A = this chain, B = another copy of it.
Amino acid sequence: MEEKILKLFKKKPEHYLSGEQISKSLNITRSAFWKHIEKLRLYGYEFDAVPHLGYRLRKAPDKLYPFEISPILKTRIIGKDIIYHDTVGSTNTIAYNLAKSGAKEGVVVVAERQTKGRGRLSRIWSSPKEKGIYLSIILRPKMTPFKAPVMTLMAAVSLAQAIRESADVQAFIKWPNDILINEKKVSGILTEMDAEADFVKFLILGIGINANTKILDLPKGATSIAQESGVFVVRQQLVKALLERLEQNYLLIQKEGFAPIRTQWRNLSVTLGRRVKATCMHKQIEGEAVDIEPDGGLKVRLDNGFYEKVMAGDLALLR
């Protein structure tokens, strides 16, 4: 109902709407309407109320509310159900537990702040309140666990595309799952899954974006989109763009495999052609990153001329 009321106000942003009018058109009582307005005020919406004229929406809060995102979202699967929290431990943990309990593919958990944001390899993902985006998506692709790295690359492509669409910045992908602007990290992806040996039960794509986050709140080497572009990004629009790109690329990968995403990944990469140092589970290698493989691995040319494929681990861009 909040969504419907907001829709009416947003349709005529400068107009006053009478409570009677709105109640009638939504088929609710005046007192129910009143309660919704009070609820919206609690959410941070500001209304001008003028006797005989009615109400006008003066200000909508900068929040990732589902009833702000859903009306503008053009997807069929991803984000059809958005679960909002102001503050959570970790959106990935919540999404994981929901998926374990049978939640459907496409459910999105979004939060304004994480107190236990997690990054790859059990690291912390710094998630201060002002004004990042922290969201996790439940996917149930019919695939083996071998294909999971490809899903991370698909998410990275979607994320870079969405950031470029929402802000005037050149976002690039650093293998496997970081998004950089001007060589500094603005976003990361944590892919987690529940699987049998040869069968993925579900997969959680966790995405953290330093959208308008204050630089002082971020770890060294990190930046925000706002910092790099000089303009605040409209977070709701960025979430919309991200979910739409994700759905588009997810459907593409299921229809045509990794090849078309791989091409896009190459174009958005800041990794290929660079000298890199990869720290894997059992060793360290250094060389030039030359390509991304069909299975999502990074092909590195060592100084002795041999090639090696890196499937896991950390990557440092050297020059």
Contact = CB atoms under 8 A, between A and B. Distances in A.
- List the number of copies, as a whole number: 2
A194 B192 contact: yes
A148 B195 contact: yes
A154 to B, nearest CB: 11
A73 B199 CA distance: 33
Nearest to A93: B100
Given A146-B311, A311-B146, A195 B197 contact: no
A311 B197 CA distance: 10
Nearest to A153: B197
A198 B311 contact: yes
Contacts of A72: none
Interface string A119-155: 0111000000000000000000011111011011000
Given A146-B145, A148-B145, A311-B144, A176 B197 contact: yes
A135 to B, nearest CB: 17
Given A143-B281, A194-B192, A281-B143, A199 B121 contact: yes
Given A143-B281, A311-B144, A149 B197 contact: yes
15 contacts: A121-B196, A121-B199, A142-B281, A144-B281, A145-B146, A145-B193, A146-B146, A146-B311, A149-B197, A151-B197, A152-B197, A191-B196, A193-B196, A195-B195, A199-B312
A190 interface: yes
Contacts of A54: none
A142 B143 CA distance: 22
